Every structure is written in C-alpha cells, then in structure tokens.
Amino acid sequence: GNSVTQMEGPVTLSEEAFLTINCTYTATGYPSLFWYVQYPGEGLQLLLKATKADDKGSNKGFEATYRKETTSFHLEKGSVQVSDSAVYFCALWKGSASKIIFGSGTRLSIRP
Amino acid sequence: NAGVMQNPRHLVRRRGQEARLRCSPMKGHSHVYWYRQLPEEGLKFMVYLQKENIIDESGMPKERFSAEFPKEGPSILRIQQVVRGDSAAYFCASSPQTPVTLNTGELFFGEGSRLTVL
C-alpha cells in the first residue's frame, strides 16, 4: 500500500544551521507530496507541496523537490531560526484515495 | 473567519466511559476528516465525512468508534467504552473540495482533542 517514511527525530540544530529532513514514499503512479508543519499548541498547516516529478515546492525559506527516481521529497532550509521549532510531517495524496497519508512526524528544535 | 474548532481540547475518561469529540469545520467547508495520533506515532486516517454521509471509514476501528456529520451542527467522533489504548490526540480537518478536486492538498486542521483514559 501507499506509505510515507520520514526521518526520526528529534532533530536539534543551532540557529542559522542548514536543515534537511528526509522523506521517502511508497506509492504506485504519481502521488502529490506535501510537507505540513505543526507549531507548539497548534494544528497542522500546509507548508509546501509538489504535484509532479521534478516540481519544487517552497515556502518561508523551506524547499522540497519531488524526486521520482529516488521516491523522495526531502525538506531543506538553508538557515534555520528559533521560530522554525515545530513538528514536520511529510504526506502524500494518491488522487483516487480520499485521504492524505502522513508520515510519523519529525520534531525540530532550534537552539539560539 | 474562524478556523476549524475542536472541543474539548483535553478530555479525561475512565475505562468504560464514553468520549465525544466535536469538530466544527471552517465556514463554507462541507468535508470533514478525522485523524488519530497515538503517542510517538504519525497521523492515522480514521474517517472522511460529508454532510450527512460517511464517505470513507476505512481507518475506523470496527467496534466502539463511530462518527457523524449531521446537516446542522458539528461533526462528532464518538468512542464508546473507552480503553487505555484509545488515549491519543484526535485531529479534525476540513476541506471545501471533494477528493477528486483536492488538487491543492490543503486540509485545514483544528488544534486537536487530547483524550486520556485512566
């Protein structure tokens, strides 16, 4: 079946460090891929998305590229801030299914 | 414009009691999804509803769990005879679009209801 596997956390970085959170997926065909973020005490919100191979989603300095050949959608940011501390969820939507499938989430903590 | 509202935010129940979790979708949204997050695990899909209809309940446990989204009022996730394994965060999300046209992939989430079963 369809599934998402993402990097286990927690991840702790210093401010201005480079961030990568790995995400790989299993699905037939061409799913749409997403990153959602959950800030402390809040619900999830969409961070970025990509709907076809080689698409790059970007938002708030975060980027992720849809790599069909490696079935990956890694999240990156060049210089993280304390305010980026949150839980990040990778997700896919197969199209014909009625639900979005989420990974287990990666908790990110940024030290000042 | 208020977002997705879930209540209660925190609920404590003893084994064998019933838990009712409510979700009011964003204004104009007629599609509701429930997800469960067990401690240290990801979000697991439970059920997808439209007004007065259950569209996909493939993630719902076969017993004790039920969901509804009536014509008027919030969506309700009901858990009967709770057990300790039901302790989790339950998230509701809403969308204005059907799955076929859900090409933005954006679900709007509430802040969750955290159920603790003693």
**CB within 8 Å: A100 and B45:** yes
Report the residue from B45, B91, B110 with minimal CB separation from A99.
B45
Is the dihedral angle over the CA atoms B41, B45, B51, B52 positive or is it negative? Answer: negative
Report the residue from B33, B40, B106 with minimal CB separation from A99.
B33
**CB within 8 Å: B45 and A32:** no
Question: What is the per-residue pLDDT across A17-46, written as a single tens digit (0 to 9) for each?
Answer: 999 999 999 988 888 899 999 998 788 899
Report the residue from B58, B59, B103 with minimal CB separation from A51.
B103
**pLDDT at position A97:** 54
**CB within 8 Å: A101 and B112:** no
Question: Could you tell me which of A107, A27, A10 has the C-alpha nearest to residue A72?
Answer: A27
Sheet strand arrangement including B75-79:
B5-7, B19-24, B75-79, B65-68
**pLDDT at position A55:** 94
By three-state DSSP, how is residue A84 classified? helix
Judge whether B35 is closer than 8 Å to chain A, CB to CB: yes
**Closest residue on chain A to B54 (Cα):** A98
**Taking 80 as the threshold, does the pLDDT of residue A95 lie above it?**
no
Question: What is the per-residue pLDDT across A65-89, written as a single tens digit (0 to 9) for each?
Answer: 999 999 999 999 999 999 999 999 9
Judge whether B54 is closer than 8 Å to chain A, CB to CB: no
By three-state DSSP, how is residue B84 classified? helix
Mutation test of the interface with chain A: which of B54, B92, B107, choosing the one with the most A Cβ atoms within 10 A?
A: B107
For A35, the enclosing helix (H) or strand (E) is strand A32-38
